[in-house]
Structure 1
């Protein structure tokens, strides 16, 4: 089939703007989920948190992401991407500001949970909207780069936390948590006026609205032939969550949620308690630990960039498998030799961070490619929710594991989870590079992409 009007478009100003706007969700995700590590010391002292309470505080936002994805993934498939694109940020801003009035542990847990719901809602909304506007030859690297903004958000949070800790002290932890409202407001205002996905509009028999959306994005109305060609790939169809668990989509749902969970379960546990974990290997505590956390976060971000090209040249499948291998190997070494010299520990943390960054680029690529438009938001929401089950469990169990099992066994457990993700990927990961979105989402044998489609 000939390329649609969307696939024929060069990657231009509209796509770059939409990428920046869509990056608000992952940026705030990384910021909010990482900033708790900065605020935990002050909150723990003032609210007298136990290790049990700290585990709940660390996991609350992740559980909220789970709920938000399950609830709002189907909603965005029913009411549209553009409307929910702004509403979820309003909820996130309010939840962040509520941190200023927290006076008890349960209130902090509740505020983190509400912020997580807003984040979970943005996963299916922003990723579905961006994927449905991208031409096939730039979809892999652009969706992968969206994950990279998570690490930018995390890095910024550590930098903000360091500034607060130096100039305001640990008593400023409420303002540290509330600071997420500032970028939230910026992204909210910038997102106003974003056009709806024409793919979604055609699925809902809104042909004239699809024509207007294409005019807003590309500066001209599509011809009838171009609109008909796009409409052929997006026949009207209602969204049903049960479609994710029937026929050929059940395996895809399990794969998308499974590999994602195996990536984030050990990663989020370490990211949430980086100052504690690094301190266990001999790194300095206090403000210096925040700088180490910032450095590791930047290294993780650096790991994303070579993989952004490799997913379109080498392919999605090998990038996913080999990054899992590197994560499992580095965590196994950290677990087998917890008393290692600091220099070797640094090397292992660098390998771990680079591999995590590279592998995480697939988190927004596979779930958006493997499902059709009418259930793409639902699929993304379900996959992110499955992943957060693992992330919440890992985050909750890490401080308990350090207290009761020790450093070595806790790191070995993380390596075992990464190995499980590698096995899942070997068994189920498909190759989708260079294919049009309706081709990657089709159940059955996939066409082979042209050799040049992944390197334009």
Structure 2
């Protein structure tokens, strides 16, 4: 299918208007082996992040490096800081240089930095390379979410994105299992076990980085950056592989062609215009969804062990066992509920998952205050609450990655992710203070009430301001900034008429 080009009177010097069917052709594809390659090759990022967080929290390096509890906590904070910086830096580069270049680069940065951290002999060396590893994973969030959304057909996008984000908890379980054996000093020497643990992620990543070489650049991104002919060749190749599997492709209506005036990058002034003038309610929606889920997750996840120890008098070894059902609930939720985001719809499912998560947590808070829960029953309530919360949290990433124009997609993800991480970091501090020594239940009860209300508020905002994106192409949800006939003065209003 040949691109049609003509001079555009409002285009930049040297740029030509391109008429392309690439987005329509990508969205009409049936599910095929190509899509499985994308899911496996790109989806591993969240597994790696889960592994990293669990290894840090296990703190097997504490004695070897002579670190205090405060210094161990600082290692976790520095890793999260690296994620924020990486998301901001690599998010902009992803929109400018392309999805593939960055999802290869950021994974390589993580592999190298995490491996080097395993050779640490002093805290400052560990801090440095944990920060760099965090940058790699933070950059992955922006590059991978962008690529997945642009490569997966519209009717599958919701379930795929939500399921992949939920696999973070699969990684956390892998990290926890690895820690059980590698940090058992009767099996592995103390100074060796934690170092081996730091290589779990890089070894998995080495296999994946080879697979990623076969995943193409996003054809949608290429069209907006003046590489229409190459984008067409990539889509031709994907379609040929689908036909080789015995599947029939319906013809594409030529009227679905989109005229684009390619541009290299978007200025910061244009970014401000997109977020605050063209799409203000979507910006409010994205910030609210990301912040509310981050606050609840960080508050509960980083303090649940303290609750079990201080209120239910479990020792640390017993507490570690309770992590697995908690993580299982978080993993199963997105896998089972994800398809409903494509059928029942984004707005209703986001509202439902946020509301149910907050409601179950509120019920557990009331029972906790009355002293009728045990460690087992409290964990059951957490599992049920986060069965829904995990799907809702994953849908937050899906939302911010699909409701803004292609040219700013990765940056939108990075900005909202950074804001969520900063605000969410206050959760563990607040809830750690509320837990205290476990002598009074009222402070933590009110903390749980706050977490419940925050989550429910996020659901209500999604119900009011949410975007019915299910089954729609990304260009229908938010027109590219480079679209030739785009009304530069209209953002949300135009999208709502589609």
Deviation of 1:330 after TM superposition, in Å, equals 3.5
Between Structure 1 and Structure 2, how many residues are aligned?
A: 446
Deviation of 1:395 after TM superposition, in Å, equals 4.0
1:291-440 to structure 2, matched below 5 A, reads 291-336=321-366, 337=368, 339=371, 340-403=373-436, 407-440=444-477
Deviation of 1:281 after TM superposition, in Å, equals 4.5
Partner of 2:16: none
Partner of 1:23: 43
Equivalent pair of 1:96/1:178 in contact (CA under 8 Å): yes
Q: Secondary structure at the match of 2:397?
A: coil
Equivalent pair of 2:95/2:409 in contact (CA under 8 Å): yes
Equivalent pair of 2:322/2:379 in contact (CA under 8 Å): no
| CA separation of 1:262 and 1:234: change in aligned 2, threshold 3 A | farther
Deviation of 1:362 after TM superposition, in Å, equals 0.5
1:44-123 to structure 2, matched below 5 A, reads 44-47=62-65, 49-123=67-141
Partner Cα distance (2:163, 2:30) in 1: 18
Deviation of 1:328 after TM superposition, in Å, equals 2.3
1:200-255 Cα deviation digits (max 9, x unpaired): 111011112112221332327999x9697676165424323334433222332332
| CA separation of 1:137 and 1:123: change in aligned 2, threshold 3 A | same
- The counterpart of 1:192, out of the listed 213, 216, 225, is 213
Partner of 1:33: 53
Tell me if 1:216 matches 2:237: yes
Equivalent pair of 1:56/1:396 in contact (CA under 8 Å): no
Unmatched segments (≥5 aa) in structure 1: 450-456
Equivalent pair of 1:257/1:385 in contact (CA under 8 Å): no
Unmatched segments (≥5 aa) in structure 2: 1-19, 244-248, 480-490
1:385-413 Cα deviation digits (max 9, x unpaired): 22211233334554455348964454444
Deviation of 1:199 after TM superposition, in Å, equals 0.7
- The counterpart of 2:300, out of the listed 250, 258, 270, is 270
Tell me if 1:6 matches 2:37: no
| CA separation of 1:387 and 1:216: change in aligned 2, threshold 3 A | farther
Partner Cα distance (1:110, 1:407) in 2: 35
Equivalent pair of 2:302/2:428 in contact (CA under 8 Å): yes
Tell me if 1:232 matches 2:258: yes
| CA separation of 1:392 and 1:110: change in aligned 2, threshold 3 A | farther
Q: Secondary structure at the match of 1:365?
A: helix
| CA separation of 1:278 and 1:431: change in aligned 2, threshold 3 A | farther
Equivalent pair of 2:103/2:140 in contact (CA under 8 Å): yes
Equivalent pair of 1:439/1:446 in contact (CA under 8 Å): yes
Partner Cα distance (1:212, 1:159) in 2: 44
Partner Cα distance (2:255, 2:416) in 1: 30
RMSD between superposed Cα atoms in Å: 3.1
TM-score of the pair, normalised by structure 2: 0.80
Partner Cα distance (2:321, 2:428) in 1: 21
1:260-279 Cα deviation digits (max 9, x unpaired): 12112221343345544433
| CA separation of 1:227 and 1:37: change in aligned 2, threshold 3 A | farther
Greater mean deviation of Cα atoms: 142-151 or 279-288:
279-288
| CA separation of 1:347 and 1:220: change in aligned 2, threshold 3 A | closer
Deviation of 1:197 after TM superposition, in Å, equals 0.8
Greater mean deviation of Cα atoms: 18-27 or 418-427:
418-427
- The counterpart of 1:289, out of the listed 311, 319, 327, is 319
Partner Cα distance (2:451, 2:61) in 1: 27
TM-score of the pair, normalised by structure 1: 0.87
Which of the two has higher C-alpha Rg? 2
- The counterpart of 2:309, out of the listed 259, 276, 279, is 279
Deviation of 1:50 after TM superposition, in Å, equals 4.5
| CA separation of 1:220 and 1:314: change in aligned 2, threshold 3 A | closer
Deviation of 1:447 after TM superposition, in Å, equals 6.3
Partner Cα distance (2:417, 2:117) in 1: 25
Equivalent pair of 1:58/1:395 in contact (CA under 8 Å): no
Partner Cα distance (2:460, 2:69) in 1: 33
Deviation of 1:301 after TM superposition, in Å, equals 0.9
Partner of 2:195: 174
Partner Cα distance (1:325, 1:168) in 2: 45
Partner Cα distance (1:122, 1:106) in 2: 25
Deviation of 1:257 after TM superposition, in Å, equals 2.8
Partner Cα distance (1:446, 1:247) in 2: 14
